[in-house]
Amino acid sequence: MKVEIVAVGTELLLGQIVDTNSSWMGAELAAAGLDSHFQTKVGDNPARIEAVLRQALDRSDAVICCGGLGPTQDDLTREVIAEVMGVDLVLDEAIEARIRDMFGSRGRTMPENNLRQAMVPVGASPIPQQPGTAPGLVCPVGDKVIYAVPGVPYEMKEMVTGTIVDDLRRRAGEQGVIASRVLRTWGMSESGLAEVLADRITELDDGGDATLAFLASGVEGLKVRITAKGVDQDDVVAKLDAEEAVIRPLLGDIVFGLDDDTIESVVLGRLRELGLTLAVAESVTGGYMAGRICAVPGASRVFRGGVVAYTPEMKRSVLGVPDGPVVNDDAALAMAEGVRRVTGADVGLATTGVAGPDSLEGQKPGTVYVGLSLPEGYESGSQLFRMPGDRERVRQFTTISLMNLLRQRLG
């Protein structure tokens, strides 16, 4: 079963919106064991959309068409799919009633333009999941199929996971269960991971119960995804467990979590187990670390607060950093000790450095010093990192690197 993804929207071609939908769908299809060899973007032009859909149907068994299902005149996906199917559009009264109810529940009257969203090609079926006003569609074209989903990510994801993947596997005659498990890592490059696991990947290619894949995900870490197929859920979980048991010793301490874990959730969980509280002092990260920490449910049980000390004066007056350079080991440690003292936290973390584009105190962009002030029995200190990339990547990499360093020192 070959599945092609077509993303519709002129804004995608102009770079006004980054097409994260296609990459997410590609990952879901791969995890389900479905081949996806092509992804295409096309603007809001009916002739070009039709040409792309016909080409996709020529070389693939199924097409997921994302976007163009809104209520405005440039939302053309429904009309074009009807043209490809060779049928008319008709009003689906059940969809109309659902859309009117959505507006009514918010105390609003539905604009008549929204009736466009209730028009369905003859022979197509609405996707049961409809979190927004745009219904998804399953549109048969001979022995092939087009799925139409909205471009709003959370609406699209609900339809893909709720209907489309299962329908594709049924059409492909897939039996059994396919599942994935993701090991979250930090401390090694993607090429380094591939080198460490090279022999194991070769063994699996020669006939194993699982496959391995890598994905670099910025502040989310480097992901190692294990995918396996089994006759049922218990069988596939056993295969994932067995493969994890093989590769974990190869990776060692760089594995910090699984699946939806983040470095922040793992560290906060460990601090909670130890009965310790946390505070952060940020310069180069500018509050980014505190924001990541506060996004973790239950963070208030551990996190006391943070100080963004972006200027030397703030570092000295609030955190007690001594006179002299503020981008070095001593300043980072003094900031960590200062925020621990100011907040009364058990653990203080600090970041200072140069995000760029200009140098500071003779230090090049990407130079970052981090400080850790820890209670007795743990190793306090500071460390230098050389971070690649632009300002945003420096902030992200500094955050995950410092949190991972704390994880390692807490044991």
* Contact (CB, 8 A) for 158 and 131: yes
CA distance 148 to 170: 18
Are both 218 and 315 inside the same structural domain?
A: no
Q: Say yes or no: 157 and 23 in one domain.
A: yes
Report the greatest alpha carbon distance in the chain: 77
Identify the sign of the CA torsion 66, 72, 74, 78: positive
Number of domains comprising the chain = 3
> d(Cα 222, Cα 215) in Å, to the nearest integer?
6
Q: What is the pLDDT of residue 186?
A: 96
- The per-residue pLDDT for 319 is 97
Residue 67's CATH number: 3.40.980.10
3-state SS class at 312: helix
Residues 68 and 108 in one domain: yes
Q: How much is the pLDDT for 31?
A: 77
pLDDT (0 to 100) of residue 207: 86
Q: What are 343's two structure tokens? A: 């907040």
The tens digit of pLDDT for each residue in 8-43 reads 999 999 999 999 999 999 988 987 878 899 999 999
Based on the fold, state whether residues 120 and 60 are members of the same structural domain.
Answer: yes
Residue range 338-386, pLDDT digits in tens = 999 999 999 999 999 999 888 888 899 999 999 999 999 999 999 999 9
* CATH number of the domain that residue 221 is part of: 3.30.70.2860
Within this chain, do residues 253 and 273 fall inside the same structural domain, yes or no? no
The radius of gyration of the chain's CA atoms, rounded to the nearest angstrom, is 26
Asked whether residue 268 falls in the same domain as residue 349, the answer is: yes
pLDDT score recorded for residue 151: 95
Interatomic CA distance for residues 374 and 376, integer angstroms:
7
> What is the pTM for the complete model shown?
0.74
Domain shared by 281 and 362, yes or no = yes
pLDDT tens column, 271-316: 999 999 999 999 999 999 999 999 999 999 999 999 999 999 999 9
**Do residues 163 and 207 both lie within one domain?**
no
Domain residues for 312?
263-410
CB atoms within 10 A of CB 213: 15
Do 198 and 244 fall within a single domain? yes
